[in-house]
Structure 1
């Protein structure tokens, strides 16, 4: 029997041990409880360098980025391409994604250039769904998550990934705020389980 492919949980906070790290751990736990193995990666470990807008990828026959051998960004992109189900756990900084995560997204330009040129490997990727799990310190804000979600939506299109309904949590600022909120932790676990059911993977949540 072929084991199921691993879902990807990408923790995108720059601070070790913060709320988004805990959120990522809960997502992986919820996925495991629903019968889906998960690979939890911390984006900061890949040390992605930001895109400098040199347009080198658009001039290269293979759409290579001059920075791709200097960090671990390409390994993460490879995981995004292969995962059957994806989750992004991120804090909100100034109404958007933190700088390192946004810099990583900007580095996908080389993949976008290849996709726009009709690259068969990218064009043949199976349709999948990604789920954004965003946590903000501010207790209110009508458009608090809008910028982050719009960026994620268009970033993921290159990889034939649709952005599903997000989970957004407010008012969790201190590093232990999520851990101390049993209700919020339950929301994250349930969110992962429901995503599995929606994707038709695993055994789904227990009755």
Structure 2
């Protein structure tokens, strides 16, 4: 499992190639319709603009993020003000203009429950395979028994057969089904390798992105 210092150093040094500087179009296309006021959990949220889009849909957004740099950049870059409070040594940042609460905490230490949905674009793929069962178990404990999960996965391989030693990590369909047996198959898949020559230039033999929409029965 990657240590927290790995991510904190990434934000400190500005090595955040994983950050998408716009709303993910897959979120806009496939996010399920939720009741107004539903609670949505976004693990390892970084400073994603997806948080803004979700809040604009009338839901309560709770993002969990280790780095205070990411959190403060989120508010600064989106011209949002916030109120900061502390509870049991954990910092909470509540946006004033939108219903977005960012919590500066290790996700494995986050204990709030009863979330109606979870959006995972870059969380499970950032977790090592060894730590994924623990992550998934912890996530399930945070969700209502009938919650919705939107999960985005990456399936890729290198031409020389090597394994990735840093995120994002490969995540096969069979592994998703192991964690979430209720899932059937991805609702969308796109071949990024064919769409963009940079994937070949980086040594990949294929690279696909998939969207899973899972209605839980826990």
TM category (shorter chain) comes to: 0.3 to 0.5
TM-score (norm: length of structure 1): 0.36
Q: TM-score, normalised by structure 2?
A: 0.35
* Structure 1 or 2: more strand by fraction: 2
